[in-house]
């Protein structure tokens, strides 16, 4: 049965009913209604703050026979031209109150498609016989899959930037801005991915003392969470390495430029010295004759060519 218009007291009564499996989804609930529901369920008043206050981290807290958890679904927005450092990670917080036979989800926005969660439940109807833990598993499975999708997109961007790293024609300033923007997105993602280990582990320990089929599903989910955390960590290391490599390449190119400038300065210094010598206002061999002029030109040409060849062989030019 589906009811789209329920009161807080009806929710509390349904949650307490041990004979039915209940899922209640609250989208942007008013604080007074959520406070009434929390009071009816016997939860502490801090649960309201945890569900509605900003900047809450993913976590699980235990209250007698209830578990209260908070997780974040993630999506990656398209990059806007001219704004490469804008935060593109969109976080959608989902809080949940879990009892043996009920799951109450509290959402502050519609960023998480609950239709995907319902499809997961519909694809595994046998698991629902294990109670609300199966409902929580379906919700967390969709959230973790969203983390994987976001990390995959960031990984693709990291590979694109990595391919540009050794391109001599790339714009250095724009490249650094893109790396910095990617690094910001990874930091924001890491804050919600890594704590998921604690959330899934706490839900895995919660429930009956004997293992069931649902526990193996939670084990698989925990493995996915670990992989997502390790993937985000490796991506962060890769971006940091790209940033440091870019600085090293800039230093190398600067040294190469200075080496070439020094080589050309040496080449130019020889004809400058010769012309300066022959330009002295004193008699010298060939002074005042065509032979002296031709000799100076030949000496300048041969010296310049020899220096150019020598520096070229040593890769100075």
Residue-level length of the chain: 317
Give percent of the chain above pLDDT 70: 83
The whole-angstrom separation of Cα 274 and Cα 26 is 89
**Cβ–Cβ under 8 Å, residues 182 and 239:** yes
217-271 residue pLDDT tens:
888 999 999 999 999 889 888 888 888 887 777 777 777 778 777 777 777 777 6
Domain boundaries, the chain: 8-251, 252-313
**Closest residue by Cα to residue 142 from 217, 73, 243:** 73
E strands, the chain, in order: 22-27, 59-63, 66-76, 89-99, 102-107
> What is the CA 37 to chain-centroid distance, rounded?
36
Structure confidence at residue 170 as a pLDDT band (50, 70, 90): low
Q: What are phi and psi of 112, to 5 degrees?
A: -95, 125
Structure confidence at residue 142 as a pLDDT band (50, 70, 90): very high
Whole-Å CA distances, 162 to 12, 89, 155, 177, 240? 54, 21, 10, 14, 11
Whole-Å CA distances, 76 to 150, 219, 295? 6, 27, 72
pTM of the model: 0.75
The burial class, CB within 10 Å (0-12 / 13-18 / 19+), for 266 is: middle
Structure confidence at residue 73 as a pLDDT band (50, 70, 90): very high
> Is domain 8-251 annotated with CATH 3.40.50.150?
no
Which is higher by pLDDT, 270 or 82? 270
């Amino acid at each position: 049965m589906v009811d789209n218009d329920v009161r807080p007291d009806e929710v509390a009564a349904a949650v307490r009913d041990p004979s039915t499996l209940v899922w209640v989804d609250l989208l942007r609930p008013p604080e007074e209604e959520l406070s009434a529901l929390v009071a009816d369920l016997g939860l502490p008043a801090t649960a309201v703050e945890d569900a509605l206050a900003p900047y809450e981290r993913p976590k699980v807290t235990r209250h007698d026979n209830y578990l209260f958890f908070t997780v974040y679904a993630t999506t990656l927005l398209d990059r806007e031209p001219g704004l490469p450092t804008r935060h593109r990670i969109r976080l959608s917080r989902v809080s949940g109150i879990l009892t043996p036979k009920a799951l109450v989800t509290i959402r502050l926005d519609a960023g998480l498609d609950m239709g995907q969660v319902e499809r997961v439940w519909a694809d595994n109807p046998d698991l629902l016989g294990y109670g609300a833990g199966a409902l929580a598993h379906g919700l967390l499975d969709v959230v973790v899959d969203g983390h994987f999708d976001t990390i995959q997109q960031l990984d693709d961007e990291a590979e694109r930037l990595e391919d540009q790293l050794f391109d001599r024609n790339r714009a250095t300033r724009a490249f650094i801005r893109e790396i910095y923007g990617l690094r910001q997105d990874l930091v924001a993602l890491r804050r919600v991915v890594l704590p998921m280990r604690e959330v899934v582990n706490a839900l895995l320990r919660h429930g009956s003392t004997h293992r069931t089929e649902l526990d193996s599903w939670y084990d698989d989910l925990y493995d996915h969470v670990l992989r997502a955390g390790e993937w985000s960590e490796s991506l962060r290391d890769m971006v940091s390495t790209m940033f440091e490599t870019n600085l090293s390449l800039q230093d190398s190119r600067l040294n190469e430029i200075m080496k070439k400038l020094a080589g050309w300065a040496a080449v130019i210094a020889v004809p400058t010295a010769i012309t300066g010598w022959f330009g002295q206002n004193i008699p010298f061999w060939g002074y005042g004759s065509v032979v002296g002029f031709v000799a100076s030109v030949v000496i300048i040409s041969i010296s310049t060519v020899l220096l150019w060849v020598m520096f070229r062989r040593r890769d100075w030019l």
